[in-house]
Structure 1
Amino acid sequence: MASFTLHGIPVSRGIAIGRAHLLASAALEVKHYLISEEQVEAEVERLQNAINRVHQELQAVWRELPADAPAELGAFIDVHALILSDPMISEMPLDIIRSRHYNAEWALLTQIDELSAQFDEIEDTYLRERKNDIQQVGERVLKVLTGTASTLANLASSPDSTAHMVVVAHDISPADMLQFRDRAFAGFITDLGGQNSHTAIVARSLDIPAAVGMYNASALIAQDDWVIIDGDAGVVIVDPPPVVLEQYRERQAKQVRERKKLSRLKKTPAVTLDGTEIALLANIELPQDCAAALEAGATGIGLFRSEFLFMGRTGYANRLPSEDEQFESYKTAVTAMKGRPVTIRTLDIGADKPMDTAEETAQNPALGLRAIRYCLAEPQMFMAQLRAILRASAFGPIKLLIPMLAHAFEIDQTLAMIAQAKAQLREANRKFDPQIQIGAMIEIPAAALALPLFARRLDFLSIGTNDLIQYTLAVDRVDHEVAHLYNPLHPAVLFLLSTTIAAGAKAGIPVSVCGEMAGDTKLTRLLLGMGLREFSMHPAQLLSVKQEILNSDLTTLVPKTRKILRLMEADAINEAVEQLRTA
């Protein structure tokens, strides 16, 4: 067989080399047929029994979680259990069987497809990719219905038992990931997924090379094919020639050596060659992620995405997490960080990511009622979150971060609601930090261009580069037709970044970057040269960024960066940034 290359989305660094192990998709084997009236209740019972069995499987997986399992796995299994309990999954397919006389598999798939289509309309990339969780739950039930629940039965037949296994699948659920922990699991390749899919998050937490969004990889790769995953580039090479295989083995060995060196930097302070201290913080989705943040040497949490607490509640619009439930999560995070600051972003959800997937989505959701706009329109929900965060601030340093602010009245309304939440807690004799710091996400160009509004009212700023780039360039980077236009080094983006950092320094308020640019080592020196002194990123990226900082000298970076900011042509900017890295 001739060698060929596939291109997908890089989500986890490193190189994996091994034999392909294909996981078949149960959805591909499903038969569609109509049943008679007399068969309806028997078919309903068959589907109910399959759902109950999957519930038992998930409970068993949860009970057997190894002590060293990443915290993400347990949380994602909880999410899958919630989805499975949702009436949209546990009841609607039964109604389809009764009303349309579909067989159980067909009814379930019909409902899964309908829900997936609704999630496709969601603008936010993280939430849009939650449709994969619904599909993974459906796949698990289908495997019970079709009798194909064992996914690793043919692993022992691999002709080379010493070769590491590279799992190839249409998609992989977090629960299924546990099956590979005690095996020679080198990496994985999936047709579905993106930067924020659970598959990607688990890959980063396990520090396993992965390439997702490969479209038809599971159809093109054959069982036991030799494959190479270049996790840094999102490239998969199938049946590589011997010379290519040898080159990648050398690169793999080099990366292993480099990672061992990086691990020695955990307790080294992040200080540039000229003596400037830099704060390196971690982004988390779950309180349990704090362990990975501390292990990587983070000096705090720069972004706690609180919307994860609201996930997995499809159809549960009237069952939002209570104030007490949120408080326990925030308290868990702040106590885990042992005195290091935890920045909690208030709910970043809205019309484009409805609490109930049956709700209509906005025609242009990215510009609609989302984030702080949604929270101000739902004051009861927002007040519960504010009180929960304030209560947790009694147990350690918390900073409150407000997303998508653009107008002075939005800031003033938010501050008034925070003051009201404080008053309610005082009346209830609840402890909180009365001096809690309040900051704004700078992710709308209007905010970056009107910084005095923010500097006069708030304590700190955090630049969300993902949305700032999207809004500045009017590009949805997960839309493959325009993704090539998404460019962090566009001169307009660099202007907004540099002026925001400079305005913060002038006003004497801290500025951090918590978007993907913060964890990109190719851009570390550029951001340092702009004056950035606080980076927040995924814990797995922290040591690589620290290494860049330790080798940087601001006395030479600052003047070079000023020259870059005067450039307008893409080629010139790219070349200058590359020279900055290698200088």
Structure 2
Amino acid sequence: MASFTLHGIPVSRGISIGRAHLLTPAVLDVQHYLVPEERIEAEVKRLQDAIAEVHKELQHLWTELPKDAPTELGAFIDVHVLILSDPMISEAPLDIIRSRHYNAEWALVTQIDELSAQFDEIEDSYLRERKADIQQVAERVLKVLLGTAQLKHPIQESLGEEFKPQMIVVAHDISPADMLAFRDGSFSGFVTDVGGQNSHTAIVARSLDIPAAVGMSQASRLIEQDDWVIIDGDAGVVICNPSQLVLEQYRARQALQVKARKKLQKLKKTPAITKDGTAITLLANIELPEDCAGAMEQGAQGVGLFRSEFLFMGRGHHMPSEDEQFEQYKKAVVAMKGRPVVIRTLDIGADKPLDHVEHNALNPALGLRAIRYCLSEPQIFLTQLRAILRASAFGKVRILIPMLAHAFEIDQSLAMIEQAKAQLRDMRVKFDPAIEIGAMIEIPAAALALPMFVKRMDFLSIGTNDLIQYTLAIDRVDYEVAHLYTPLHPAVLQLIAMTISAGKKAGIDVAVCGEMAGDAKLTRLLLGMGLREFSMHPSQLLQVKQEILNSDLEAVTAQTRKIMRSMEPDAIAEALEALQAM
């Protein structure tokens, strides 16, 4: 097949080489991992056994039908038996396991997706509706398969270093909740048609330290299943079906990058101290308690942002209970062994909706999201606050409130925290009565009204992703305007510097927990602004630490002042380059 190149937006550095996996929503509902050669036939048998089990179930249903049951019920079961016996269901997924090394669940869903697409093209409405029957039969088989899975990823967890899956996700788009499906490391790169520098696909790709390119427009249509793909994450380029020469060149570059990353690992236990002896705090951003292990491994001094909304997503209409939330928060607090854990209250809306919440706002990014949603749903908010407070009895916890802009929002939030405390006192439940409360500075109005915040709050955390989005009036998920999104716009830099300065003057901590904190190219700029607390994904910690260790604060601060005085993009870029070369 002819080679071709696509150009998009570079969002996560590095090079990835692998086979394309075209993603459809149904595939996300099951586990996906690659099966090593020696386990292929065992996996084939697992699917065959599941199909045989469903045959028995259907037979039992037939024999148990009451005598007065409608004849349609029997016919319905007969149709399902026929579908289950069809080679397209009973044989084709087995071929997928053998040829692509997919696990049984994934192979079945992949086949069902292909069949469903064929049924969608049928003109006859009756035959087209039979797609639902096929999906129902597949669901029965999946239930049996899921019951036989002993671990989350039984095969994947047993693999050694010599078996490294090299599969690249190609999709139109991937939602934040769906991105959680890729945390196991089954994939080595992401390519999406849409998205920008700070879309959630981009953020998660960077956090997983996986090369990615977004805003590719037609990638999911042009790239075919199992095509060889190279992602050049540094350039935002995707090469499909490369020549052998190009493949060898990129493999050589990839090997050099792997070597450089191994070198960084030596900095894990080195304190983050500048050349002139100033200690910098490096914290981790996490989505789930399980991320704490990676944070500790990379030498994080605490959790600067626990995105609690990921506990609420992908659950249908079922909200996590207070006890369930408490257990998750407690797990993170205990895992961090006395280090601080900043838990951000529920931040949903815009590109992170909950399944049971209607999304009818004309512009969700400007609608009922984050603290606005929480204040409109006081029982949900109180439940979460009680769970967080209960976890504070087990270690150092701080509460972070997102998207505050008005004094009354701050006051109502603080009042609800006091109400949650009173409820726990009445129940004689322990918590930290002196727990610190912080505000996210991510709306320009908040950055321009800082006295209102420093007067009421114990600490501030700058959410640069939304701050840039709202300051520049750019939807960070929209690839058509993504090229206009930049952290180096003079207005953005001024708002960040103002916030850091106001916090310093008031004697309260200020952190940056947005993507800027994890971008090593911007580390010295933030240091020069006076930032002393960075929070990022664990995978970014060592690169940022390396920049800190090589920085002289006095020289960095002087060069940063030049950048802050400039309003011209070219001059800012040139001064930033000089800052990097120091």
Smaller-chain TM-score bracket = 0.7 to 0.9
Query: 2:289: which partner in 1?
Result: 287
Task: Report the Cα distance in structure 2 between the residues aligned to 1:237 and 1:354, rounded to whole angstroms.
Answer: 33
Counterpart of 1:220 in structure 2: which amino acid?
A: L
Structure 1: segments with no counterpart, 5+ residues: 71-161
Counterpart of 1:15 in structure 2: which amino acid?
A: I
Q: What secondary structure sits across from 1:441 in the alignment? A: strand
Asked whether the equivalents of residues 194 and 479 of structure 2 are also in contact (C-alpha less than 8 Å), the reply is no
Query: 1:323: which partner in 2?
Result: 322
Alignment pair present for 1:462 and 2:461: yes
Task: Report the Cα distance in structure 2 between the residues aligned to 1:464 and 1:175, rounded to whole angstroms.
Answer: 21
Query: 2:151: which partner in 1?
Result: 63
Counterpart of 2:5 in structure 1: which amino acid?
A: T
Map of 1:474-513 to 2, 5 A cutoff? 474-513=473-512
Asked whether the equivalents of residues 198 and 476 of structure 2 are also in contact (C-alpha less than 8 Å), the reply is no
Instruction: Point out the structure with max Rg over C-alpha.
Output: 2
Query: 2:305: which partner in 1?
Result: 303
Task: Report the Cα distance in structure 1 between the residues aligned to 2:21 and 2:345, rounded to whole angstroms.
Answer: 41
Map of 1:71-470 to 2, 5 A cutoff? 165-167=166-168, 169-170=170-171, 181=186, 187=189, 189=191, 191=193, 207-212=209-214, 214-221=216-223, 227-240=229-242, 244-245=246-247, 247-314=249-316, 316=317, 319-350=318-349, 355-356=354-355, 359-470=358-469
Task: Report the Cα distance in structure 2 between the residues aligned to 1:400 and 1:296, rounded to whole angstroms.
Answer: 24
Asked whether the equivalents of residues 20 and 223 of structure 1 are also in contact (C-alpha less than 8 Å), the reply is yes
Asked whether the equivalents of residues 352 and 362 of structure 1 are also in contact (C-alpha less than 8 Å), the reply is no
Judging changes above 3 Å, is the alpha-carbon distance between structure 1 residues 223 and 493 closer, same or farther for their aligned structure 2 residues? closer
For this pair of structures, how many residues does the alignment match?
A: 485
1:500-536 CA distance string (max 9 Å, x none): 0011111100000001111111111100000001111
Q: What secondary structure sits across from 1:488 in the alignment? A: coil
The worse-fitting range, judged by mean Cα deviation, of 330-339 and 215-224 is 215-224
Judging changes above 3 Å, is the alpha-carbon distance between structure 1 residues 175 and 301 closer, same or farther for their aligned structure 2 residues? closer
Query: 1:78: which partner in 2?
Result: none
Judging changes above 3 Å, is the alpha-carbon distance between structure 1 residues 328 and 33 closer, same or farther for their aligned structure 2 residues? farther
Task: Report the Cα distance in structure 2 between the residues aligned to 1:556 and 1:326, rounded to whole angstroms.
Answer: 46
Q: What secondary structure sits across from 1:228 in the alignment? A: strand
Alignment pair present for 1:522 and 2:521: yes
Counterpart of 2:283 in structure 1: which amino acid?
A: L
Task: Report the Cα distance in structure 1 between the residues aligned to 2:298 and 2:250, rounded to whole angstroms.
Answer: 27
Judging changes above 3 Å, is the alpha-carbon distance between structure 1 residues 206 and 62 closer, same or farther for their aligned structure 2 residues? farther
Asked whether the equivalents of residues 18 and 168 of structure 2 are also in contact (C-alpha less than 8 Å), the reply is no
Counterpart of 2:139 in structure 1: which amino acid?
A: I
Query: 2:91: which partner in 1?
Result: none
Task: Report the Cα distance in structure 2 between the residues aligned to 1:202 and 1:360, rounded to whole angstroms.
Answer: 23
RMSD value, Cα: 3.4
Task: Report the Cα distance in structure 2 between the residues aligned to 1:576 and 1:467, rounded to whole angstroms.
Answer: 25
The structural deviation recorded for 1:59 is 4.8
Asked whether the equivalents of residues 284 and 303 of structure 1 are also in contact (C-alpha less than 8 Å), the reply is yes
Alignment pair present for 1:52 and 2:140: yes
Query: 1:14: which partner in 2?
Result: 14
The worse-fitting range, judged by mean Cα deviation, of 494-503 and 246-255 is 246-255
Asked whether the equivalents of residues 352 and 368 of structure 1 are also in contact (C-alpha less than 8 Å), the reply is no
Asked whether the equivalents of residues 166 and 188 of structure 1 are also in contact (C-alpha less than 8 Å), the reply is no
1:64-83 CA distance string (max 9 Å, x none): 5249859xxxxxxxxxxxxx
Task: Report the Cα distance in structure 2 between the residues aligned to 1:307 and 1:176, rounded to whole angstroms.
Answer: 16
Identity, in percent, stands at: 69
Counterpart of 1:504 in structure 2: which amino acid?
A: G
Query: 1:569: which partner in 2?
Result: 568
Task: Report the Cα distance in structure 1 between the residues aligned to 2:199 and 2:466, rounded to whole angstroms.
Answer: 17
Judging changes above 3 Å, is the alpha-carbon distance between structure 1 residues 164 and 341 closer, same or farther for their aligned structure 2 residues? closer
Asked whether the equivalents of residues 520 and 547 of structure 2 are also in contact (C-alpha less than 8 Å), the reply is yes
1:121-175 CA distance string (max 9 Å, x none): xxxxxxxxxxxxxxxxxxxxxxxxxxxxxxxxxxxxxxxxx99854464479779
Counterpart of 1:29 in structure 2: which amino acid?
A: Q
Query: 2:57: which partner in 1?
Result: none
The structural deviation recorded for 1:576 is 0.9
The structural deviation recorded for 1:477 is 1.9
Q: What secondary structure sits across from 1:414 in the alignment? A: helix
Counterpart of 2:516 in structure 1: which amino acid?
A: M
The structural deviation recorded for 1:370 is 1.6
Asked whether the equivalents of residues 352 and 370 of structure 1 are also in contact (C-alpha less than 8 Å), the reply is no
1:407-441 CA distance string (max 9 Å, x none): 11211111111111111111111000011010000
TM normalised by structure 2 equals 0.75
The structural deviation recorded for 1:575 is 1.2
Judging changes above 3 Å, is the alpha-carbon distance between structure 1 residues 540 and 411 closer, same or farther for their aligned structure 2 residues? same
Counterpart of 2:568 in structure 1: which amino acid?
A: E
Q: What secondary structure sits across from 2:267 in the alignment? A: coil
Task: Report the Cα distance in structure 1 between the residues aligned to 2:22 and 2:328, rounded to whole angstroms.
Answer: 38
The structural deviation recorded for 1:343 is 0.4
Task: Report the Cα distance in structure 2 between the residues aligned to 1:180 and 1:534, rounded to whole angstroms.
Answer: 29
Judging changes above 3 Å, is the alpha-carbon distance between structure 1 residues 228 and 455 closer, same or farther for their aligned structure 2 residues? same
Query: 1:29: which partner in 2?
Result: 118
1:182-207 CA distance string (max 9 Å, x none): xxx75454557777888767756764
Judging changes above 3 Å, is the alpha-carbon distance between structure 1 residues 211 and 353 closer, same or farther for their aligned structure 2 residues? closer
The structural deviation recorded for 1:301 is 0.6
TM normalised by structure 1 equals 0.75
Counterpart of 1:308 in structure 2: which amino acid?
A: F
Judging changes above 3 Å, is the alpha-carbon distance between structure 1 residues 575 and 66 closer, same or farther for their aligned structure 2 residues? farther
The structural deviation recorded for 1:6 is 1.3
Judging changes above 3 Å, is the alpha-carbon distance between structure 1 residues 43 and 553 closer, same or farther for their aligned structure 2 residues? closer
Asked whether the equivalents of residues 466 and 515 of structure 1 are also in contact (C-alpha less than 8 Å), the reply is yes
Q: What secondary structure sits across from 1:273 in the alignment? A: coil
The worse-fitting range, judged by mean Cα deviation, of 509-518 and 354-363 is 354-363
Task: Report the Cα distance in structure 1 between the residues aligned to 2:499 and 2:406, rounded to whole angstroms.
Answer: 16
Counterpart of 2:298 in structure 1: which amino acid?
A: A
Counterpart of 2:307 in structure 1: which amino acid?
A: R
